[in-house]
Structure 1
Amino acid sequence: MRIDFTKMHGLGNDFVVLDGRKQRLPALDAAFATALADRHTGIGCDQLIVLEPSEHGDFRMRIFNADGSEVEACGNATRAVGLLHGRPARIETLGGMISASPCDGGISVEMGKPRFDWDAIPLAYAMDTHTMPLAWEGLASPVAVNVGNPHVIFFVDDPYAIDMERLGPLIETDPVFPERVNVNVAGITARDAITLRVWERGAGLTRACGTGACATAIGAMTRGLVDRKVTVTLPGGPLQIEWREDGEIVMTGPATESFRGNFDPADYGLAAGSTD
């Protein structure tokens, strides 16, 4: 048994996509996801994306980080599978139901509504999520928001002056975040423009993070720093984020198919007959 895959990326945030609607897949676990994601001995990716049939939407999307952890949402991956699907779709995720549609700017994704309650982030104890009374060295008073997965956002003068490789994992694993957290450092450059770097939970410093762009835009909007439609520029490129009057977050940006291939699951420690 060989498994077909599609390699894709959104602004350099890359994925291995397995389509379980069209083929039987090996039983999924952290070790399998980590083996596929390894850039030296596997296919290599930031996240493993698995598509499955859904009783509630057009299909279900499961997301495994490079460290094997399964997470709730990934905006860039949603655009990628929207491109793969080729038409409007309602997608079931652990973070809730979202929608993706092809458009002139690539793929437009309705990401749902942001949540700000401390226990929805979640945090270890109650506090103000709009201006958290916490600091990690020079990074202080962040915004916390859940946009399908948890984010904390720091507004700074120069995001590229922050040592994210050191501070990112320190903040990600702080006990105040019982499910860990994605760490964003952002600079406001205009009423409609934000510069952003993201330390992604379970994946590390990334070229792009769709949910990070959404969370950061929402955090800046709630503080009155920007208007309700902005361009968020990450190292991999720009995303357009709009917070509609109905509360829905809409993200628009490109997605790209890199190549297709197949592999033998036995090469990754799985018996050929082991399937879901």
Structure 2
Amino acid sequence: MSIDFIKLHGLGNDFVVIDGMKGNVDVDPAQVRALCDRHFGIGADGVIVVQPPKNSGSAGYMHYINTDGSLAQMCGNGVRCTAKFLVDEGYVDASQGELTVDTLAGKRPLQFSVDTGKLTEATVNMGEPIFDPELVPVRAPQESVADHAESGTSFVRDLKVQTPWCDVTFTCISMGNPHALWFIDSFEELPDALFNGEKTLENMDIDRIGAYLESHEVFSEKSNIEFVELRDGLLHTRVFERGVGETLACGTGACATGVGGYLTGRVGREVDVVLPGGMLKIEWTEGGAVKMTGPATESYRGTI
């Protein structure tokens, strides 16, 4: 069959976006893997089929499938790209300035900016973080759970996980999908085998490390793995995404990083998270919701 698509990305986290608003478009896992193949296909971190909304008041539904063909509950960069598709293709009036996207993790309201009628940037209400270990989900012993006095939040702060290289301590949060944050305060103390050259975040071999940690037995549904360094007041982060591998940016990962950075006393409620593809502004509001601001960009259109 022939499929028209638009290649969109949020800070380099890229998607093959397909219009399913006017009729059913079904792509199976094998087709998704073929579309996402960067050598033999289009190349992407996932496929988004934009479908009619599931709830009244929403503009559309983001049906997001990971590179490996597995269905994803949530994708922050994907939500912004879905919103861009809906605005740019005329399903939403560009002058509205706001819309709601349905996802498997629930409704995601957002405000957006436009230039010559095209969406350029969006601030998404990503909802409230989930801390209950059973809901993250993560198998966390009680001693790894801590209370944050200021916010009254109980969360998995210090989950110790053994690896072939060293012990890793995770802070675990869900943003509709599970995230395990490894805040690294000293690279020099880590084994040489974790790096390709100088001991820096940029030189960490996270393809190898992330693949091991993603599927660790403590994560019953696997987990996204964040490698985080506080540098000059910013949270520099690399993400190994569950079912994908390392991506240039991860919206839910940036949200989890911002929340985890606040709960562990590293940053305030507002922080810029620097990813290989660029920067996302994250705010954990007093009301409990996390807001994420960042761009959405079209690369090209085609037919495959």
- TM-score normalised over the length of structure 1: 0.89
Unaligned runs of 5+ in 1: 264-276
CA contact (8 A) 2:29 2:68 kept: yes
Q: Does 1:19 align with 2:19?
A: yes
User: For the structure 1 residues 232 and 153, does the alpha-carbon distance in structure 2 shift closer, same or farther, using more than 3 Å as the test?
Assistant: same
| 2:243 aligned to which of 202, 207, 215 | 202
Structure 1 residues 158-169: aligned runs within 5 Å: 158-169=200-211
Give the Cα–Cα distance (whole angstroms) in 1 for the partners of residues 110 and 6 of structure 2: 18
Structure 1 segments of 4+ aligned residues over 4 angstroms from their partners: none
Q: Which moved more, 1:158-167 or 1:92-101?
A: 158-167
SS in 1 for 2:30: helix
Deviation at 1:126, TM superposition (A): 4.9
| 1:189 aligned to which of 217, 227, 231 | 231
What residue number does 1:248 align with?
Answer: 289
Deviation at 1:144, TM superposition (A): 0.3
| 2:175 aligned to which of 132, 137, 147 | 147
Structure 1 residues 48-197: aligned runs within 5 Å: 48-56=47-55, 57-86=58-87, 87=94, 88-103=98-113, 106-124=121-139, 126-127=141-142, 128=145, 129-136=156-163, 137-138=165-166, 140-157=168-185, 158-191=200-233, 193-197=234-238
CA contact (8 A) 1:139 1:154 kept: no
CA contact (8 A) 1:119 1:126 kept: no
- TM-score normalised over the length of structure 2: 0.81
How many residues are aligned here?
261
Give the Cα–Cα distance (whole angstroms) in 2 for the partners of residues 245 and 99 of structure 1: 18
Unaligned runs of 5+ in 2: 88-93, 115-119, 146-155, 186-199
Q: Which moved more, 1:71-80 or 1:91-100?
A: 91-100
Give the Cα–Cα distance (whole angstroms) in 2 for the partners of residues 156 and 139 of structure 1: 12
Deviation at 1:134, TM superposition (A): 2.6
Q: Which moved more, 1:193-202 or 1:116-125?
A: 116-125
User: For the structure 1 residues 170 and 79, does the alpha-carbon distance in structure 2 shift closer, same or farther, using more than 3 Å as the test?
Assistant: same
CA contact (8 A) 2:10 2:78 kept: yes
**1:160-198 Cα deviation digits (max 9, x unpaired):** 24321211000001121111100001111244x110001
Give the Cα–Cα distance (whole angstroms) in 2 for the partners of residues 221 and 239 of structure 1: 16
Q: Does 1:224 align with 2:265?
A: yes
Give the Cα–Cα distance (whole angstroms) in 1 for the partners of residues 236 and 162 of structure 2: 21
Give the Cα–Cα distance (whole angstroms) in 1 for the partners of residues 245 and 9 of structure 2: 16
CA contact (8 A) 1:78 1:100 kept: no
What's the C-alpha RMSD, in Å, of the aligned pairs?
1.7
Aligned partner letter, 1:169:
A
Give the Cα–Cα distance (whole angstroms) in 1 for the partners of residues 107 and 162 of structure 2: 34
Deviation at 1:140, TM superposition (A): 2.1
SS in 1 for 2:160: coil
CA contact (8 A) 1:82 1:101 kept: no
Q: Which has the higher contact order (CA 8 A, sep 6+)?
A: 1
Give identity over the alignment, percent.
Answer: 41
CA contact (8 A) 1:142 1:153 kept: yes
**1:17-72 Cα deviation digits (max 9, x unpaired):** 011003441x3321121111111222111110111112312211111111111111
